[in-house]
Each structure stands twice: as structure tokens, then as C-alpha cells.
Amino acid sequence: MSEWRNRRAGALMHISSLPGRYGTGDLGESAASFARILSNAGISAWQMLPLVPTSGVFSHSPYSSESAFAGNIMYISPDKLAESGLVSAAELEKFTASGKTDFDLAQRSKHEILKICYKNFRQDEAYKTKFREMSDKFWDFCAAEAYWLEDYALFSTLKEIEGLAWNKWRTEYRTRDWNALDSLKRTDEISRALDERRFEQFLFFSQLEELRGLCRESNIILIGDLPIYVAYDSADVWGRQDLFELDADGNPTSVAGVPPDYFSRTGQRWGNPIYKWDRMRGDGYQWWMERFRHALRQADLVRIDHFRGLLQYWDIPASEPTAENGCWKPGPGEDLFNAMRRRFSDSEGRLPFIAEDLGVRTDDVARAMEDFGIPGMKVLQFAFGDGMPDNPYIPHNHRRNCVVYAGTHDNNTAAGWWMEDATDNERKNFKKYMAISEPNPEAAADAMLRATLSSTADLAVITIQDILRLGAEARMNTPSTVKGNWLWRLEDFDSLEDGMKRIASLNELFGRSHPTRNNGAGEDGLP
């Protein structure tokens, strides 16, 4: 889509943070209302976090999931299900909750609601008449998404039966003995459970596609998020054990992470299994092509988390308790990017991806991004330390083909950064650069937003927390911590009104309000 090259503003807001009645935000009317609010303010891009299933085991982090493909049923809108006739308003009354985020409650409620929907859907007469069109679309979905859907449905069903990580399952399930699995799938109970899992995913992706259509009508592009690694205890690893570095019992032989650095004396041991890149190369990276295809059915642009890992990755022996004794190994690099270009590039060979290239940016990363037209990220909270005026994150050093943020979901809010995280030197440089004397937190947040939107970067993304001038209490995630994350939620849309008026004015001032206008973007424009 060539309009990506036009100058535009975006908002970072996860679905879970929307207002709603069922424990978390969802894909229903609040999402539609939010899209309209963005459009009215001249914001024409909506960036979300991964929409995959989450678990209380990992504090519902969207970056740890039992599937890289499946959708999170917590984000299915019960009200939209009622509109389609799958459940009645009376049946939904007992499931409403307070406006605070409660993932566990939302998960339990949605499971019960979806069971009611499936039962109603499968009633003979309704199935043949009332839901005839829906049934046809359901089976089309199952056929189109079978590549990942069948493994996910079976994996999630077996997890309920076994109650353990897949490497602890009975041997015939762990090793995917199809004599045993086919026999199990033919039983009435399991056959029904598998059908329910498929139906849940159909409902999720149907609602997401409806939201995406509404956003298209409002000229809003969606930006997705794709973690480079997948969780070990996932349908992805269990279903394709041949694609990961595992031993004969299915245990990882090496895991992912990053080496020791200024921030961590022992590095970070993430624990995700390492890909068998040679094996993947042999079939043209089919698994990755399916993953990218699936991601681009959900969004117009996709951010690739830890982009560097596709060029070179830190390989840690699984027996090591820390990341210290890992080593760098070459990733697929140009070979994978060429395969991506053949499948997903525009007419000028540019790819619809954003590289998360924060931290150490090596020459091979910079070269790949340049060669394949992939924009990187600039985070203003990193701009005001040592190295000014040559700091690559400072606005006057931005280029057009990048995405600028005041802060991301992993940063404090702008006001929180000013109050809690910024060093004395950063505050000094910030005041000098912004030409302000002694800003309070709200003024600091406003200055950061103004600098973000005035950047030469084609795409500028701001968080709703910063529009609202909220402090550290509204932070979405603190890396390397497991409690208190992902919980921030907007109570209602009324509080956004004044903030969006300011943003609309800035978007007009800095030429971000007219994304369909040809702004003369040349070879440096966003892909």
C-alpha cells in the first residue's frame, strides 16, 4: 500500500487497554469508538501489541503465548456475539465486571460465553437456517487456516487433558504418535472440543477483520507486533519439533537471549528454543512465510521484535543458568529477507515491516534495513543522555524512513520518565533542547509529544497515556519484571477529549493530518 509513505501520526494502544464491561477491552464497540476518535484527531495508524493467547503463568504477557498464530479469546466481544444471535443479552448479564483489568476473570467469562455460543451454533435447526451463512464462513476459515489451526486446537485440548507442559505428556502425545492421536480425535468428547477451539478462533478473527474493515473506511492502518521467538510450551514447538533445537526427548538443547551488557552483568536468558535455520532454509522458510502471511492478514504493517536475531542471534546452551556463556551465531539474514521480498514486497521491493532495532545496532542490521527498505525505531526517551548532538535518537538526526516514539510499551510514560527515570544530565539536555525552563511532568509530556510529531520521521507513534499526561502509574510494562504489567486501562473515552484536541492541532501543524495526500515522499519514504 503506497500510502504508507505519506507522513502520518499513530497511536499505541493495546486492545486490553480499551474500556469495556467484561474484565478487559475487546474488539467490539469500544474498539470501533476508539478508531473514530483517532480519525477525528488526524491519527491514521493504530499500533497494538501481539493479539495471541496469554496465560497467568506469564502474567498475561502478550510476548509469551501458547501460539504464535492463534487469537486471544479474551478480546472477543460478547456484545457483538449477541448481535449475531449466538448468545442473548440475558445470558450475558451475569458476566459483566468492573472497568479494571482482570485477565483471569475475563478468561473464565469468555470461556463460558463461548461455550454457550458454540452450543447455540450447533443446534440442528439453527445450524441449518439461522447460522447457515456463518457455517459456510466457518468452514472456509478452517480450510484457509489449517496450517496452524489444527495443531493449535489439538495442542490446547491436550493441555487441558494432561495439565502439564507438552514435554511431560504421555509419550504418544508428546511424540505426536498419529495412531494414538487419530484415535483420540475420533472420540465424541475430543472431536467436539477441537471443533469448539476452531470456532473460537473463527469468531476472534471474524471480529478482528470487521474492525480492520472499519479502520480502512476511516483511513487508519493497523500496526501489528511479531515477537521473533516463540514459547517452548506452545503449539508451534510441539507441532513442528523438527524446526527447533531439541533433543530426542523434546527438551531444548539451546535457548535464546542476549549477552551481558551495561544493564545486565549476566545478560538475559529468555529461554525460548532456537530455530533450526538450516532446516527452515531447506523448504524456503515455509513456517516463517505462513507466520508473516498470517500477521499481514491482521495488520497493514508489522513490527518485528528483536529484529537483530534474524541476522545473528545469541545462542545459550540450555544447561546454562545465565546468558554469560552463550555465543553469537549467524541467522538466516539476506536469504530470509529475499524470500520475504518475493512474497510480501510492494512494487518497489519494500517490505511491510518495522524493525525493532533498539540497543546496539550492528552494521549487518543497518545494511539489511537499508537494502530491503525496512524502517527502524527512534525512541525519544533515549535521546537526551550522553552523545548529544550526535545521538541517533535525537529528532534532528531522524530520517524519513523510520518510526519515532516518545516511548513504547516497554518505557515509562513521558511524565513518569521525567519524574522517575531521567538523570540530571538528561533533564538538563531535555530542557535545553526543548527550550523550556523548569517543566512540570505535564509540560514535559507535552514537549515530548510535540517533538515526536514534529520529527521528520514519516510515522510518529504516541501512547494514549502520554496524550493524557499520565505518570508512572499508567506504565504498561517494566522489562525484566513479572508483576503489575499489562494492566493499565482507559476507564472511558471522555477523558481523551481535551488531549485529542491538542493532538489534532499538532497533527495539522506538522502535516500529519492528511495521510492520503501525496507529500512527495521519495525513496526514503515508509514502505
DSSP, residue by residue, 129-198: TTTHHHHHHHHHHHHHTHHHHHHHHHHHHHHHHH-S-GGGS-HHHHTT-HHHHHHHHTSHHHHHHHHHHH
Computed over its alpha carbons, how large is the radius of gyration of the chain?
A: 23
Is there a contact between 458 and 526 (Cβ–Cβ < 8 Å)?
yes
Kindly tell me the sign of the dihedral angle through the C-alpha atoms of 43, 27, 486, 69. Answer: negative
Ramachandran quadrant class, 395 (left: phi over 0; alpha: psi -120 to 50; beta: rest): alpha
Q: Distance from CA of residue 109 to its chain's centroid?
A: 23
Q: Distance from CA of residue 472 to its chain's centroid?
A: 22
- From 162, 315, 364, 410, active-site residue: 410
- From 66, 305, 446, 458, active-site residue: 305
Per-residue cell: 422: 531521567
- From 196, 236, 300, 356, active-site residue: 356
User: Count of residues for the chain?
Assistant: 527
Kindly tell me the sign of the dihedral angle through the C-alpha atoms of 379, 310, 166, 248. Answer: negative
Is there a contact between 392 and 380 (Cβ–Cβ < 8 Å)?
no
278 is annotated as an active-site residue: no
Sheet holding 459-463, edge to edge: 353-355, 301-304, 221-226, 43-47, 8-12, 459-463, 402-405, 376-379
Q: Residue 129's CB: how many other CB atoms inside 10 A?
A: 8
Q: Distance from CA of residue 278 to its chain's centroid?
A: 27
Q: Which helix (H) or strand (E) holds 254?
A: strand 254-258
Q: Which residues contact 236 (CB under 8 A, 6 or more apart)?
A: 67, 68, 69, 148, 151, 230
Q: Which residues, in sequence order, are bridge partners of residue 462?
A: 11
Q: Distance from CA of residue 515 to its chain's centroid?
A: 23
CA atoms of 229 and 78, how far apart (whole Å): 31
494 is annotated as an active-site residue: no
Residue the block writes with cell 495442542: 155
305 is annotated as an active-site residue: yes
Q: In the chain, what are the helix, strand and coil shares in percent, each to the nearest 5?
A: 45, 10, 40
DSSP, residue by residue, 372-421: TT--EEEEGGGSSSTTTTT-TTSGGG--SSEEEES--TTSPPHHHIIIII
- Amino acid identity of residue 195, one-letter, is D
Residues with active-site annotation = 305, 356, 410
